[in-house]
Every structure is written in structure tokens, then in C-alpha cells.
A and B are shown apart, each in its own frame.
Chain A
Amino acid sequence: MSTTETAEKTAQKPAAQNLIVSSSPQIHDRSKTTRIMIDVIIALIPAAVWGVYIFGIPALLTLVLSIVSAVGVEWLLTLGTKPSTVTDGSAFLTGLLIGFNMPPSVPLYIPIVASAFAIAVVKWSFGGLGSNWMNPALAGRVFVFFSWTGAMTRWKLPMAWSAQGVDSVTGPTVLGAVQSGLFDFSGTVSGPLEFISRDGLMPLDVSYADLFFGRVPGCIGEVSALLLIIGAAYLFLRKVITWEIPLTYFGSFALLVWVFGGTRFGLGLFSGDVLFHLLSGGLMLGVLFMATDMVTSPLTPKGMIIFGLGAGFLTFMIRFFGSFPEGVSLAIIVMNVFVPMINRAVKPVRFGTLEQKGKEAAS
């Protein structure tokens, strides 16, 4: 074809010169990784606001520093790469989740170190977003937990408690109180709430409603089950999370607690206080926002079910038989390690590979 002919066409049809050529599909459902990150951040906002409301300015500072540290380290590590991943929201989310997992009045260098460890070691040493095999926020939390166990287990009480006549500024979490109370316990008591009340394990008595609404000591973001559930409902509607992991995680954990949970208080089998365990500690935050992390959970629905069952079992084991009162972080991290194995073992059934009815008919 002559060049003049081509030139003539160009003059006639300028639009044709700027056409995009790409492989199918030519349209998209408009989802985007950044949008997913933003959705999770939106879902966490109610719980964050609540944490700052009941624990005050130190909680706010902790949240802000966690985020600044995570985003800052992400920015440093991606200097010169194009396009930078610092704006994709993932580092912000990791930082926010680390803040959620900090005690409210923790020394401020701890969230900074936790975020730096999460981003630099857990996330980027494996290649950044999508390549890490362990949840960065949880790994960051566990790292500082074992580095500064004292500071990480000193709990500032909700500010409102002083108005109710509590003098002390710090105290145990409900799970911590139960755990320490059980060291020299023998006898029978109806359940953990009565146990706390009878032995005065907490400065104030605690009710299910306190646990549900979040009027108890704990990590900044974990205390209000209600607000975390609302956030998760939003994510469910936005199809960011699916039912498999939460349902199987809660389900297996609740079943084990119901069957064996009462034995510690001198009760028989099938008498555990399921509600208390579902609402206390980091379970809501862990199950709804950490175990459901896409990068570090299995790919297939079936794999997710195995993951959830395993995490529920491990959480139960650690909470009831471990030396720490809380087991959610460790349980999820251990299950993270199993994810590649689960992915290899559980694959979808390929179309047309099962025994065919049609074959029988044809033969």
C-alpha cells in the first residue's frame, strides 16, 4: 500500500488514529484494587471513631502514627518505581489495622516499629502488595507484642469508667482477667461474666451489652463488636468479603467453646459461654477484617472454608490452653502459612471432567 494512500486516510479519519487495541474483554465491571482498599478503610471508620471516643487522644495519636509510618515506609521503598503503589491504599489500610491492634496508651514508638516491620519486612521483602504470604498488620502486631510484651499488655481503661468510680487508669481486658483468675481457681461458677464479678477480677462488672457496644478495655479498634459488624456488613454488600471465612471461623470457634468452654468453670460439656467469647477480645476484628484479607487467605470458596475452620480451631486452642489470653492473631498467622498448601490441595472442579451421564447414554 502506498504511503500517499495511507496519508489520505489519516486526513479523512483522524479518529481512527487514536484507537485502543487490546485483548478482550473490552468492558469491565469497574472494580479496582484501590476501591477495595478504600471500602475496607470506610468499613473500619466507625470502630476507629469509637476507639478514639472511649480511649481519648492517645488512641488517636496511635492510629495516626501507625498510618503515617506504614505509608511513609511504603513511599520510601517504592521511590523510583513507576507507578508507585503508595497511593493504592494498601499501606494506609495496613497502618490503620496496626493502630486498631494497639493498646490505647502504648508508647508511640511501638506502632511506628510495628508498621515499619509490617511494610518493610512482611510485605516488601516478598515483593509488595499481593506477594506477601502473611498478613502484614498481624505480623507487625505479633512482632512488637513479643518485643515489648509488657507495654503491649498494659490496657488503658475506657475514660468513662473513672466517672463510675474507678480510680485506676489501667486494668486487664476481660479475657486477661479470666485467664489470670483461672490460675488458682477451683470450684464452680456459671460462666466468665459471673466469674469476673464474683472474684472482682475487673474494676467494674462487665455485661454482654458492654462487650457488644465496646465499653471495655482492649485494643483501640477491637472493642466494639457492633461497629465492626456494621463495617463488615458494608463490605459484604460491596462484595469485598464473602461468607465463607467469617461463617466457618465463627462457627467452628463457637462450637468448640460451647462444647468445652464450660469445663474451666467446673461445669460439664456443652455449657460454654459462646456469646462472651464471640464478643470479647480481638475475635470480631480478626475474623471480619484480618482473616478475610484477600492476599493471605485461600483463593477458592472451599479453601476459605478450610481456612476458617482451621483458624477457629486454633483460636480456641490458644485461648483455652495457651499461655496468652488472646489467640486470634496467632491463629490467623498460622493459617496464613497453610494457605499455599490449601490452594494447591483445593482446586475448583473443572467443567466436563467428572463422570458423564451423556457417556452412558451414548454407549
Chain B
Amino acid sequence: MKGLKTFAKGGVHPHDRKELASSEAIQSLRLPEKLIIPLQQHIGAPPTLKVEKEAEVAAGDILAEAGGFVSSPIHAPVGGTIGEMRSIYLPNGAKTQAVELLPAAPEGEEAALNPSSTDAKELIDRIAAMGIVGMGGATFPTHVKYSIPKGSKAEFFIANGVECEPYLTADHRLMLEKSSEIVKGIEIAAEILGPDHVYIAIENNKPDAIEAMSAAAAGASIPIEVVPLKLRYPQGDEKMVIQAITGREVPSGGLPIAVGTVVSNVGTLNAIYEAVELSKPLTHRVVTVSGNGIENPGNYLAPIGTPFSHLIEEAGGTSGNTVKIVAGGPMTGFTVFDPETTPVIKGTSGLLALTAKEIRETQTTSCIRCGRCIRVCPVGLSPTLLYKCVDHNDIDAALEEGLNDCRECGSCGFVCPAHIPLVQGMKLGKRLARRRKEAS
């Protein structure tokens, strides 16, 4: 396939391993004994807890209210009894407060249909109230993203169905099984944003999804173009998908709206549809459970708060040679060290059990200045140089070299023949820079 659109430079081609789970339909999950629901699931201010121990809640009840504009509420995925407050580790390793919810006996369909509104302000309020955040992994509150600053205009709206991370098939399955719902979500987003052009971006390793979304888009009330993209990582990154489709570069340090674009993940759009049309808060999400260490890889509709260990058990458990459990995709995901208490949150797209053969763990050796990290960096950084700056604690030099432009896509670390933890260096450098800024 020639002539397909893609981003301009860098990028890598990891084996996509999607065959493990891509043909498995989304299945609902047997409820765990306990949901562990963290309060901080999004970027922004932590919400404030609104329930007490032993309180009875119904599905969709608010557990915690948004703690400001850039924040998002948390709802009960199912009815049940509130348990202990406890301190747990999020998938990314951060410690946070979580509330336990002991599910009551299974119930029927809970949500009632609401007539849809067409007022942009009302729609945004609804999206905010339903706790919608970006489900591609970044978990930025969607109502903030859709509140376009004065003087800016969303010329382009892109529904991101790229799903460039290996192994992950959650968005792929959603596009197959919920194509008309996603299109309705896109219509709602378009109602709010009023874009001139609406696109659905899908990499061409998912021809069935391209077909399904094209069919659904044909019946939409607005013109929607499905754009097949050339298979290349990290195409699903917001800046990359914008460049692939519009040809525009989001300025360094800027937001997509600076080039007149808003991007939402297809999972988020499905959640927007459910929030607006069905009054369903964001309490469940599709999680791909995969990797060679998983007995029965598949895609599960898991309530937020499902402990990872439960999800793994439901997928048949792990085989003995599992050495890493990863929340998210293998290129950007986090290794989990406490699967008993670390739960599914709104941004958890996958849960992988990887075997020694898959990860190829090996010793770090000296940089041989091959320059491969520079060749693959999609944002034109010199990872080896940045790593050295951070390693020497010269944060100023690292910032000068564009440290904050790093997308942490992992392409550099993926190709480094010396196995230098380049991304770890970037993350550490950013953290040191932030800490220093806070201190001054």
C-alpha cells in the first residue's frame, strides 16, 4: 500500500502482536469481590470524596466530585457498599487514595434514556458531569479539551482510532462492535466544536475497522472521512496523528488547538455517546488483556476499580514464565508491581503479561553514538544527548535541548543497541525540572 498518509519523520515498526486478541469480541467481566476505585484517575486537580464508609450506593452515583475545572468526577460502576479508604499504587507507580466498593448482587440495565440536547454548553456540562476523560491513556478531562479558548477555532476534528501500540486491540474491537455509537459520539463532539472537517484515523493494519467505520460514517448526519494511515509507531500520538492527517505541526509546547485541531480517542467518543444519550457516566472501559504470559488473551469490558489480578484471573491466569505485568501498551506502559491492589482506571487500555522472550531484558552498556535514537525520534530530539544532560544533572541544558518536547513514545529506547534507559532519563529529567520550578 503506497501513498497512505503518515507523520513526517522518525518512528519505528515493532511487531504489533495484535493477532493475540484482535479476534476476541469484547466480553463483560464477572464482578470482583471488591472494586478499588482511585480518586485520581485523570490529569488535573484531585476530586473530593463524597461517600462514607458503609454507605450504600447505586450504579452511576457520584463517589467523588470534580475538584475544580480541570478535574473530573468519579462514579460508582455498580451498586454496592462502600468499604475502606486505602492507599494504593496507580499503574504509573504513583501512590494515591482509593475507595473500596463491595458490589451488591448483579442488577439489570441501570441507565435510563435521556433525550439528547443540542446546546454546546449543556453538552459540555454533561460530559464533565459524567466524568469523561481521554481514554487513550492521557486521561485529560474531555470537557476542558472541548472548551475552546476564545479566538481559537477547531477547524479539524480527528477521531483517533490509530491504536499504534503493539498488543492493544481495545479500540479496534470498539470500532468493530460499536461503530455507530462512536459515530454518534463524533456527531456530539462536532455539535460542540463545529469543525470544518471531521476525520477518523485508523492504521491500515485494521482493514475490518476501516470498513466498519466507513459504513457507520456513511450514515452520519455530518460528512466524516475515514483516513487509513500507514502502519508506523507512534502514529497514535496526538501530535503525530495531527501531522499525518492535516500536515500541520503542533508547535513545541503548544496544544493541538494551536493548529486548529481537536483529537479524541474512539473509546472516549463511545463514552461521550453513552454519557450524552444514555446518561451513563464513565464507569467501565474496554481493556485488552494480552501477552504471551496470558492464557486466554481477550478484550474485557471492566468496571473502573477492577484489580488487575482479577482481570488476569478472568483471562485464564498467567503462565509461569511471566516476568513483567504491564498496564497499557508495551511501548509506553508501566510495569505493575502490586497487581492485587492496582486497579483498572479510566486510562487503562491494556494489561499485558509479558514473558522473558518477549521483553529481551539485557544489560545496559556504553553509548556507542550510533545515532539510532535520533533517527527514530518523531519530534526531532537527540535522546542520547538529553540522557547525558539529565545524567549529569544539567537540567538547564536538557530543557534547552527540548526535554519537554519529548512524547515518551519509547522509540529511542526500543532501538538503542546499548539498552540505555533513555525514556527513564527523559521522565526523570522532566520530574527534576518540575521539582526545581516548584521550589523556586
Interface residues of A (CB under 8 A from B): 1, 9, 13, 15-16, 18-33, 35-36, 83, 85, 88, 127-131, 294-301, 304, 347-354, 356-359, 361-362
Tell me the bound Cα distance from A216 to B5 in angstroms.
52
CB distance from B360 to the nearest CB of A (A): 5
Closest to B373 in A: A299
The CA of A83 and the CA of B261, in the complex, are separated in Å by 50
Does B18 have its Cβ within 8 Å of any Cβ on chain A?
Answer: no
Query: B415 is contacted by which of A31, A294, A351 (Cβ under 8 Å)?
Result: A31
7 residue pairs, one from A and one from B, having the closest CB atoms: A358-B259, A25-B410, A23-B424, A351-B379, A130-B366, A299-B371, A348-B380
Report yes or no: A352 in contact with B250, Cβ–Cβ below 8 A. yes
CB–CB B249/A24 < 8 A: no
- Contacts A26-B335, A29-B14, A131-B366 known; 4 new A-B pairs at CB < 8 A: A13-B339, A15-B318, A88-B365, A127-B366
Our pick among B152, B359, B371, B424 for the contact of A20 (Cβ within 8 Å) is B359
* Other-chain residue from A1, A25, A297, A350 in contact with B381 (beta carbon distance below 8 A): A350
Bound form: Cα–Cα A297–B372 in Å: 13
CB distance from A240 to the nearest CB of B (A): 9
- Is B360 a contact partner of A362 (Cβ separation < 8 A)? no
In the complex, what distance in Å separates the CA atom of A147 from the CA atom of B14? 50
In the complex, the answer to whether B337 meets A19 with C-beta atoms within 8 Å is: yes
Are B414 and A27 neighbours in the complex by a CB distance under 8 Å? yes
Q: Which residues of A contact B408 (CB under 8 A)?
A: 24
User: Does any Cβ of A come within 8 Å of B138's Cβ?
Assistant: no
User: By the criterion CB–CB under 8 Å, are A357 and B359 in contact?
Assistant: no
* A133 CB, nearest partner CB in chain B, Å: 10
Please give me the residue from chain B that is nearest to A34 by CB atom.
Answer: B365
B44 on interface, CB distance cutoff 8 Å: no
Q: Which residues of A contact B374 (CB under 8 A)?
A: 299-300, 348
A59 to B306, CA, bound (A): 69
B32 within 8 A of A: no
Closest Cβ of chain B to A23, distance in Å, is 4
The stretch from B207-215, B222-230, B270-278, B323-331 touching chain A is B323-331
Check if B83 is an interface residue, CB within 8 A of chain A.
no
CB pair B413 A299 closer than 8 Å: no
Q: Report yes or no: A31 in contact with B324, Cβ–Cβ below 8 A.
A: no
Which B residue's beta carbon lies closest to that of A31?
Answer: B417
Inter-chain CA distance A29–B13, complex, in Å, is 9
Q: Residues on B close to A: CB < 8 A?
A: 12, 14, 86, 151-153, 155, 166, 239, 246-254, 258-261, 309, 318, 320, 322-326, 330-340, 352, 354, 358-363, 365-372, 374-375, 377-382, 384-385, 402, 405, 408, 410-411, 413-419, 421, 423-424, 427
A131 CA to B384 CA in the complex, in Å? 13
B335 A22 Cβ-Cβ under 8 A: yes
CB-defined contacts of A350 to chain B, threshold 8 Å: 252, 379-381, 402, 405
**Contact call B260/A26, Cβ cutoff below 8 A:** no
B367 touches A356 (CB 8 A): no
Q: Could you say which residues of chain B place their CB within 8 Å of the CB of A298?
A: 371
Are the CB atoms of A351 and B249 closer together than 8 Å?
yes
User: A23-B424, A36-B417 in contact; A129/B335 too (CB < 8 A)?
Assistant: no
Q: Find out whether the CB atom of B259 lies under 8 angstroms from the CB atom of A35.
A: no
Pick the most buried of A24, A35, A85, A348: most chain B CB atoms within 10 A of its CB.
A24
Q: Name the CB-closest residue of A to B242.
A: A358
Q: How far is the CA of A88 from the CA of B421 in the complex (A)?
A: 19
Asked if A26 contacts B152 (CB within 8 A), the reply is no
Known A-B contacts A16-B340, A350-B405; A33 and B380 likewise in contact (beta carbons under 8 Å) = no
B326 to nearest A CB, angstroms?
5
Give the CA-CA distance A300 to B371 in the complex, in Å.
6
The residue on A at minimum CB distance from B415 is A29
B251-A362 in contact (CB<8A): no
Q: Which of A31, A131, A349, A356 is B380 in contact with, Cβ under 8 Å?
A: A349
Is there contact, CB below 8 Å, between B12 and A29?
yes
**Are the CB atoms of A24 and B369 closer together than 8 Å?**
no
Expressed in whole angstroms, the Cα–Cα distance for A362 and B258 within the complex equals: 8
Q: Which of A32, A130, A347, A353 contacts B419 (CB 8 A)?
A: A32
Residue contact B360 to A357, C-beta cutoff 8 Å: no
A348 to B339: give the CA distance in the assembly, Å.
41
What residues of chain A lie closer than 8 Å to B336, measured between beta carbons? 19
Q: From the candidates A35, A294, A296, name the one contacting B371 in the complex (CB within 8 A).
A: A294
CB-CB nearest in chain A for B402: A350
18 contacts between A and B (CB under 8 A): A16-B338, A16-B340, A23-B421, A24-B413, A25-B330, A25-B332, A25-B413, A25-B423, A26-B333, A29-B415, A130-B367, A295-B368, A295-B369, A299-B382, A348-B374, A348-B377, A353-B252, A359-B251
Which residues on A sit within 8 Å (CB–CB) of B86?
A: 1
**A309→B180 CA distance, assembly (Å):** 57
Measured between C-beta atoms, what is the minimum distance from B156 to chain A in Å?
Answer: 10
Q: Indicate the member of B332, B417, B423 with the most A CB atoms within 10 Å.
A: B417
Least Cβ–Cβ distance between B66 and chain A, in angstroms? 29
- Whether A356 touches B259, Cβ cut-off 8 Å, given contacts A27-B166, A32-B417, is yes
Q: Is the beta-carbon distance between B249 and A354 smaller than 8 angstroms? A: yes
Given A26-B324, A27-B360, A295-B369, also A361-B333 (CB < 8 A): no
* Contacting pair A19 B335 (CB below 8 A): yes
The residue from A22, A294, A358 contacting B369, defined by CB atoms under 8 A apart:
A294
Assess whether B324 is in contact with A358, with CB atoms less than 8 Å apart. no
Rounded to whole Å, the gap between the CB of A361 and the closest CB of chain B is: 6
Instruction: Determine if A33 and B320 form an interchain contact, defined as CB atoms under 8 angstroms apart.
Output: no
**Are the C-beta atoms of A27 and B331 separated by less than 8 Å?**
yes
Interchain CA distance A300-B380 in the complex, whole Å = 10
State whether B419 touches A28 (Cβ < 8 A).
yes
Q: How far is the CA of A13 from the CA of B260 in the complex (A)?
A: 50
Q: A15-B320, A24-B408 in contact; A351/B380 too (CB < 8 A)?
A: yes
B362, A32: Cβ atoms closer than 8 Å: yes
A130 touches B318 (CB 8 A): no
Contact B359 A348 (CB under 8 A): no
Q: Report if A19-B249 is in contact (Cβ < 8 Å); known contacts: A26-B333, A27-B354, A348-B377.
A: no
Residue of A at shortest CB range from B247?
Answer: A357
A37 to B361, CA, bound (A): 19
CB neighbours of A297 from chain B (8 A): 369
Distance A20 CA – B333 CA, assembled complex (angstroms):
13
Distance between Cα atoms of A353 and B416 in the complex (Å): 26
| Nearest neighbor of A83 in chain B, beta-carbon distance | B363
Q: How far is the CB of A14 from chain B (nearest CB, A)?
A: 9
Chain B residues with CB below 8 A from A18, complex form: 323
Structural contact, B419 and A359, CB atoms closer than 8 A? no
Determine if A358 and B258 form an interchain contact, defined as CB atoms under 8 angstroms apart: yes
- In the complex, the answer to whether A294 meets B337 with C-beta atoms within 8 Å is no
Contacts of B155 in A (CB 8 A): 361
B334 — which chain A residues lie within 8 A by C-beta? 24
Q: Which of A129, A299, A357 contacts B366 (CB 8 A)?
A: A129
